[in-house]
Every structure is written in structure tokens, then in C-alpha cells.
Amino acid sequence: MSKHQKTICIDFDGVIHSYTSGWQGASTIPDPIVEGAIAFMLGLLAADYEVAIFSTRSLSAGGLPAMRSWLKKEAGNTWFPTPDGPGLESVKFPMEKPPAIMYLDDRAVYFTGTFPSIDFVREFRTWQGK
């Protein structure tokens, strides 16, 4: 099995970072983590998945180190591995969208072979906007 067949790519803003303040710049990440995000990522790592966090911040100056630093702060004692399992320090922060078996994004729509209507596009809201 190739490595990307075990990769889960997770969007940062609106999925991991609660993003309640909206865009403040690539290196400014003011809001708390979305509830359950740490447990989800730790569970994936423990199940031998690679976790990759990708964002529009990834290509912006200061974006990658800001996301990594923010996650380290939010992770607290779950940052480093323990005898109980892996730590979040092994999460990847690629500069390009990686091949993955799943992409988790608050702005994505699952494509079923039929394109959505313009009304669907016009009315689309993230989970926070509903």
C-alpha cells in the first residue's frame, strides 16, 4: 500500500481551528480548537494513518509555522508521543495538497457524479454558518 493510501488530509480553518474571528492574516490564529479535533487526529495516528493539515495558509508567508505553533499550544501534553500512543508532533503540514484517501474540509461538497445546482452553490454555508 502506498503512503498516500493511508493519508487523511484535514483543512485547518473551520475544521481544526474554529475560525470564529474570520481571516486575520496567515500568521494570526486567534481562535480555539474545534472540539474533538485532537482526539480525532490522535485516533487516526494510533490507527496508523498519516495526518496532513493543509490550508490556504500553507503557501502564505508565516502560515505553516503559525499553524504548527498554534497546534502545539492547543495540543498541550498530547503533542509528544507517550507509551499510550503517538503525539500530534507527527502531523504533517505540507505546502501542497497531498494525495489522500480522504479530505476533511468545511467548504467541500461530496461529488456523486452529478453537479450541484447554482441555487445549491448560492445557498451553501459552512457548518458554522447554518
pLDDT at 68 over 90: yes
Report yes or no on whether pTM surpasses 0.75: yes
Average pLDDT of the chain to the nearest whole number: 94
* 3-class DSSP state of 62: coil
Residue that has been written with the C-alpha cell 503533542 in this structure? 79
For the chain, counts of helices (H) and of strands (E): 3, 3
| CATH number given to 3-123 | 3.40.50
Supply 78's cell numbers. Answer: 498530547
CB neighbours (10 Å) of residue 89? Answer: 13
Longest dimension (CA), the chain: 51
Domain ranges in the chain are 3-123
Confidence of residue 23 (pLDDT cuts 50, 70, 90): very high
Mean of pLDDT values over 105-123: 95
pLDDT of 128? 84
Reported as a pLDDT band with limits 50, 70 and 90, residue 130 is confident
